[in-house]
Amino acid sequence: MTADFVIVGAGSAGCAMAYRLGQAGASVLVIEHGGSDAGPFIQMPGALSYPMNMGRYDWGYHTEPEPYLGGRSLVTPRGKVIGGSSSINGMVYVRGHARDFDHWAEQGASGWSYADVLPYFRRMESWHGGEGSEWRGSDGPLHITRGPRKNPLFDAFIRSGAQAGYPLTQDYNGQQQEGFGPMEATIWQGRRWSAANAYLRPAMKAGNVRLTRAFARRVVFEAGRAVGVEVDRGGKIEVLRARREVVLAASSLNTPKLLMLSGIGPAAHLAEHGIPVLADRPGVGANLQDHMEIYMQYAASQPITLFKHWNLWGKATVGAQWLMTGKGLGASNQFEACAFIRSKIGVEYPDIQYHFIPIAVRYDGKAAAAGHGFQAHVGPMRSKSRGSVTLRSADPAAAPRILFNYMSHPADWDDFRRCIRLTREIFGQAAFAPFVKGEIQPGEGVQSDAQLDDFIREHAESAYHPCGTARLGRSDDPLAVVDPECRVIGVEGLRVADSSIFPRVTNGNLNGPSIMVGEKAADHLLGRVPLPAASLEPWINPAWASSQR
């Protein structure tokens, strides 16, 4: 079992890399602990609440008790299946704001500014959102579509934004992110268009890419150079060797764990677990970030929500229609309208994101509100809180210790309160008057700062966007883990390419930028000159310094 490149993780970035490396004629071996993604739970978009709650498809990780959330331990789903988290996520497609990537470059990730990454977003996309756009790709492996927005609540949400004085945007992934508009999804012809469907299957069919089901234990080094990966395959420990390079694309939770098990990380922490230090990199496992959100839920005054299908017969009918035709409610993730707004005067670009859905229900499919309702998922995009991923033990089978330190920065509380108050104003607009019966959650009695803080402490949830634990930076930056070509600093022959390398979390869902990382890293692995930088100028609200909207 030898190949030019050995990639750990058949997730969003890993599949994209395998495809591009194989396309260039290199032999690639992809190691994935999880199994097949066959079956309706993953492939039917409307079933999205199931796979992330199934041990068959999810690593099953939890945080340590979060000290600023009353000691709650939160679930942190990560895909353990081909396609990785792109096979269990909500399928929402957001590139991030242009300024996110410019910030990366300012932090030392040279070559990762918006002008640098836009060509890779275009290369990976097949966009079906309208007529051709110079901002969007048209012939890439990843199909991007929009839902039909048949439910009147979707357009009510968008109109309410305009009535509240916010801009509208026809394409938040194009020139203008800020505003209210249609949401995009990695759904194609009624199916989840995961990285496995978009990249891995075509790559394997072409012949240069092989997939092996195994559990990666550590990277193997000889004279300071990565030469392979030690795995447990069918109960047998063996080494899968790389002729050229090893790439970790195992998620922002498992990649730092593998680095530390391989002797790359904070020296004192490795010593605690008896692991010989190969490279003292204190940034490994640090800088952990996420998005938090709450569900602003409202009771509906008309029986037009998805609640009418929220029973055994309704779900069976939706599922049967999808299985027979690939159409109907099962062909949508139901996130068909969204918004990106700025929280206050002086914020240059959006720092609040909304997902709107025409039912009041938890993301895990539990605790549906008793009756017809709808909700907006809302939360701040640029939390100042930082956490860490550390080793629980030197045993590769042990889960990592995950502590996000959610809400540990005082500014996060102010940001979250603003989210709630701005959302109430939006749902108070005339466009929603025919549909709103009352506020379910937080509830109209929850108004003061202290009451809102109590609600946030008890009810804020992860949006499942962990990143940052092996960040990009200059090779002389002591807290950087990889250089701008994704090479792990301090060793040879090893790269990281997944959401671990994000210096700061992007503005929106992370699947899109994670795939982009895989696309761009493939060019670095091949020694190619990066795609020419784009010269398009993104829209920034001209009144940002003097107006909140």
Give 202-260 as a DSSP string. HHHHHTSEEEEE-EEEEEEEETTEEEEEEEEETTEEEEEEEEEEEEE-S-TTHHHHHHH
Residues 6+ away with beta carbon under 8 Å from 474: 108, 110, 480, 483, 484
Residue 173: half-sphere exposure toward Cβ, Cα within 13 Å: 29
508 marked as binding residue = no
Instruction: Spell out the SS3 assignment of 186-203.
Output: CEECCEECCHHHHHHHHH
Nearest-CA neighbor of 474 among 169, 139, 110? Answer: 110
Contacts of 428 (CB under 8 A, 6+ apart): none
Q: Determine contact, residues 338/172, Cβ cutoff 8 Å.
A: yes
User: Tokens standing for 113?
Assistant: 């500014």
Please tell me whether 81 is known to bind a ligand: yes
The answer, yes or no, to whether the previous bond of 442 is cis (omega within 30 of 0) is yes
Q: 272 to each of 262, 390, 395, how far by Cα in Å?
A: 14, 11, 13
Any binding-site annotation on 90? Answer: yes
465 tagged catalytic: yes
111 carries a ligand binding annotation: no
Phi-psi region of 334 (alpha: psi -120 to 50; beta: other; left: phi over 0): left
227 assigned ligand-binding residue: no
Backbone angles phi and psi of 454, in degrees to 5 = -60, -40
Cα angle for residues 255, 13, 145 (degrees, 5° grid): 140
Q: Which of 33, 103, 355, 465 is catalytic?
A: 465
Give the C-alpha separation, 341 to 336, whole Å.
17
Catalytic residues: 465
Show binding-site residues: 81, 89-92
Show binding-site residues for FAD: 81, 89-92
